[in-house]
Structure 1
Amino acid sequence: MTIATLHDLHRPLGSTGLTVSPLGLGTVKIGRDQGVKYPNGFQIPGDDEARMLLRQARELGINLIDTAPAYGRSEERLGPLLRGQRKDWVIVSKVGEEFADGLSRHDFSAAHTRMSVERSLQRLETDFIDLILVHSDGNDLAILEHEEVYATLAALKAEGKIRGFGFSGKTVEGGLKALEQGDCAMVTYNLNEQNEKAVIDYAAARGKAILVKKALASGHVCLSPGVDPVRASFELLFTQPGVASAIVGTINPLHLAHNVATAAQVLRGH
């Protein structure tokens, strides 16, 4: 039996010129275990475990990795863990949210945005980051219209420090506004929450990129007996032409393999 992989199912990330696997690996769980919204507790994996998970993801055809300063030690751990593999990965990180001592705080100023990206470059041990998203606090339109973060990201893109930028928000209005000037919107879209579908449709019509967060509702999806929630989730997602990739934040190798096999089946129409 051949193992299902995503190697031949990579697709364009909007018009950025990047191609990404239809599933991306979210890395909040390798850096942070406080204040996270998962149904079950978990232990942050050690270096060997994390290294094996990254190797497994790569072997299964995943090339997209999602991190953020707000994910505790995620970025600084990924730097050493990904040494020598930069060409194998499309790296997405964020700006705007800091997490320390169990609390989040937000800063969307030009100075903080630039500092944050420079720090991410150092932590991730790279000269450029493929995509930086604004980590919204929920006031999406206010951030885009009155803060300096988006203009600063456009400047960092022009300088070659990032290849693309976008917005991880919480509202339809924010997602639409973010795509006017940005390359990508990260939206919540799953079996429980579909109110950001308008953003996906807008992106599809304009060649912009969509990344989906909480694709499996952070593990909270409940369906009738006998229905695989992962398959049902991916059937919903991958019928949307605008969706480039769904971020799945598992640290369980069996879950990762199941997610990949299921996504491959759905995408191949089996």
Structure 2
Amino acid sequence: MSFMRPLGNTGLTVSALGLGTVKIGRDKGVKYPSSFTIPEDKAVVELIARARDLGINLIDTAPAYGHSESRLGQLLTQRQDWIIVTKVGEEFDNDSGESHFDFSPEHVRNSVERSLKRLNTDYLDCVLIHSDGNDMAIIEQGTLDALNELKKAGLIRATGMSTKTVEGGITTLQHSDIAMVTYNLQHHEEIPVIEHAAAHHKGILIKKAFASGHLAGDVADPVQESLNQILGTPGVGSIIAGTINPGHLQENVDKARIACGEQ
């Protein structure tokens, strides 16, 4: 398995590691082991350039990540070099630090149009529903159908959902292109979704690969072990790893390349 890999049958080729951008947009209501400061524009520009130099082409954002989309829209040059993943369904209030959810088809359309403006682009590579855990109820209210209509209209290249249940993940893959699932050394429950994707040439993105910074245990190098396990699993496209530290980014990419057998 190489570092650059197909994302199911979407026609998109993605780096095995993608850059998650929660920390450039919000610092309230986030579950990380240590506190952080939202970086200045210059630091974000340098981080993005470093990611690109390291071979990363996938960047993950969401309306729920505070100012992340707007900042990327201003700071991400060379749009054509990037596969941009964003989301619909979860809204975040920067003042109160609270989230709320709206999965109505009308909100999906408005959210996608707002993301296009914020990200300063005329198409989105991937748009995923940001599930609140009620995966099946969301699918049943037509949220994925609304995304798929926007795909037909040419605004989105691939659709799917960031899911929290096996049933939701598999059903998502039956009705769209991609599922984003949790998979790490301590969490194997959603492997059946990855297996379904591998069997049906669908796309898989991985969240919480490092358990949001809480990976530990008796393994000498938990990050390397986690990357070896995840990137060695057939069907996995890319791991979304959020960092604002260029040193961590470099280390993660080096270890991902080892996991892909490239170093």
Aligned length: 261
Task: Name 1:214's counterpart in structure 2.
Answer: 208
TM-score, L = length of structure 1: 0.95
Deviation at residue 29 of structure 1 after TM alignment:
0.3
What is the CA–CA distance in structure 2 between the aligned matches of 1:189 and 1:132, rounded to whole Å? Answer: 20
SS across alignment from 2:63: coil
Q: Structure 1 residues 205 and 125, CA, compared in 2 at 3 Å: closer, same or farther? A: same
Deviation at residue 229 of structure 1 after TM alignment:
1.4
Q: Which residue, 43, 47, 50 being the options, matches 1:56?
A: 50
Task: Name 1:105's counterpart in structure 2.
Answer: 100
Q: Percent identity?
A: 58
What is the CA–CA distance in structure 1 between the aligned matches of 2:66 and 2:156, rounded to whole Å? Answer: 21
Query: Residue 166 in 1 paired to residue 160 in 2?
Result: yes
Whether contact under 8 Å (2:3, 2:262) holds in the other structure is no
Query: Residue 86 in 1 paired to residue 79 in 2?
Result: yes
What is the CA–CA distance in structure 1 between the aligned matches of 2:85 and 2:117, rounded to whole Å? Answer: 14
Q: Superposition pairs for residues 173-184 of structure 1, below 5 Å?
A: 173-184=167-178
What is the CA–CA distance in structure 2 between the aligned matches of 1:14 and 1:162, rounded to whole Å? Answer: 16
Where do 5+ consecutive residues of structure 2 fail to align? none
Q: Which amino acid aligns with 1:53?
A: L
What is the CA–CA distance in structure 1 between the aligned matches of 2:9 and 2:84, rounded to whole Å? Answer: 16
Task: Name 2:124's counterpart in structure 1.
Answer: 129
Deviation per residue, 1:59-117 (Å, 9 max, x gap):
0000000000000000000001013x111100000000000021111001111000000
Whether contact under 8 Å (2:183, 2:208) holds in the other structure is yes
What is the CA–CA distance in structure 2 between the aligned matches of 1:111 and 1:238, rounded to whole Å? Answer: 37
Task: Name 2:150's counterpart in structure 1.
Answer: 156
- Stretches (4+) displaced over 2 A: none
Q: Which amino acid aligns with 1:228?
A: D
Q: Which residue, 247, 251, 258 being the options, matches 2:244?
A: 251
Query: Residue 38 in 1 paired to residue 45 in 2?
Result: no
CA RMSD of aligned residues (A): 1.2
Task: Name 1:202's counterpart in structure 2.
Answer: 196
What is the CA–CA distance in structure 1 between the aligned matches of 2:164 and 2:3, rounded to whole Å? Answer: 28
What is the CA–CA distance in structure 2 between the aligned matches of 1:152 and 1:143, rounded to whole Å? Answer: 11
Q: Which residue, 138, 142, 153 being the options, matches 1:143?
A: 138
Where do 5+ consecutive residues of structure 1 fail to align? 1-7
Q: Which amino acid aligns with 1:46?
A: E
Q: Which amino acid aligns with 1:172?
A: V
Query: Residue 69 in 1 paired to residue 63 in 2?
Result: yes
Q: Which amino acid aligns with 1:247?
A: I
Q: Which amino acid aligns with 2:179?
A: A
What is the CA–CA distance in structure 1 between the aligned matches of 2:174 and 2:230, rounded to whole Å? Answer: 23
SS across alignment from 2:204: strand
What is the CA–CA distance in structure 2 between the aligned matches of 1:61 and 1:108, rounded to whole Å? Answer: 34
What is the CA–CA distance in structure 1 between the aligned matches of 2:123 and 2:21, rounded to whole Å? Answer: 19
What is the CA–CA distance in structure 2 between the aligned matches of 1:86 and 1:59, rounded to whole Å? Answer: 15
